[in-house]
Structure formats: C-alpha cells, structure tokens
Amino acid sequence: MKLYSVVNMDIVGSRHVKDRLQLQINLGNYIDQMNKKYRSILSTPITITLGDEWQLITDKLSESYNLIHEFQQLLWKDRIEIYAGIGIGELKTPIFEDIRKMCS
C-alpha cells in the first residue's frame, strides 16, 4: 500500500482582489517555479484545477506542510493568503500527467 498526500490550495477572498489578472499570472509563475524546484518529489505537476484553486500530489508525506508553507511565502509578497487542505491515502487511479484525472 503506497500512501500519497493530496494538497488542495485556494486563495482567500480572491473575488475581492483588485488586479485579478496579475494575481493569476503570478500564481502561474509560482506554480511553474515550484514544479521545477520540487519535480523530484511531485507525483505529477502542480496544476490549477479551477480558477484560483490548485492541487499537488506527492508520496513524500512529510513534505506536504513545507510545500504549503512555501506557497504561502510566495503569495505573501502579493499580500495574498491561502487556504490549504491535506488528504492522505492511496490513489485509486494510475498517475496521470493531468492531476484532475486522478482520485484517491
């Protein structure tokens, strides 16, 4: 039985952000940065799943909080806060490049 950590993140109050386009651009850049930096521990690339929500999967459970914290630090530069949730369990599907095709 192999366990994975599925981390969901979402921007707090994104509807009230004045420059939403710039926020989406910055978020995309941060995700690209994190995908490069953590390629070796991500099961599949970090993906925006809907609007200002993104998700990552790793089998390095102990790194889940560190990944969330690093996203917090990146977004604090933009005065943005996030919600994050961590789910731990087996995957019921194979690993796909598109995270939206997988389920735990």
Predicted local confidence at residue 104, as pLDDT:
52
CATH number, position 71: 3.30.70.270
User: pLDDT tens, 16-65?
Assistant: 888 888 999 999 999 999 999 999 999 999 999 888 899 999 999 999 99
- Report the distance separating Cα 24 and Cα 5, nearest Å: 25
Q: How many domains does the chain have?
A: 1
Mapping DSSP to helix (H, G, I), strand (E, B) and coil, where does residue 44 land?
Answer: strand
Band of residue 92 on the pLDDT scale cut at 50, 70, 90: confident
* Residue 57 burial by Cβ neighbours in a 10 Å radius (0-12, 13-18, 19+): buried
- Report the distance separating Cα 81 and Cα 86, nearest Å: 17
Mapping DSSP to helix (H, G, I), strand (E, B) and coil, where does residue 75 land?
Answer: helix
- Report the distance separating Cα 88 and Cα 76, nearest Å: 26
55 neighbors 87 (Cβ within 8 angstroms): no
Predicted local confidence at residue 95, as pLDDT:
77
- Residue 70 belongs to domain spanning: 4-101
Percent of the chain with pLDDT over 70: 92
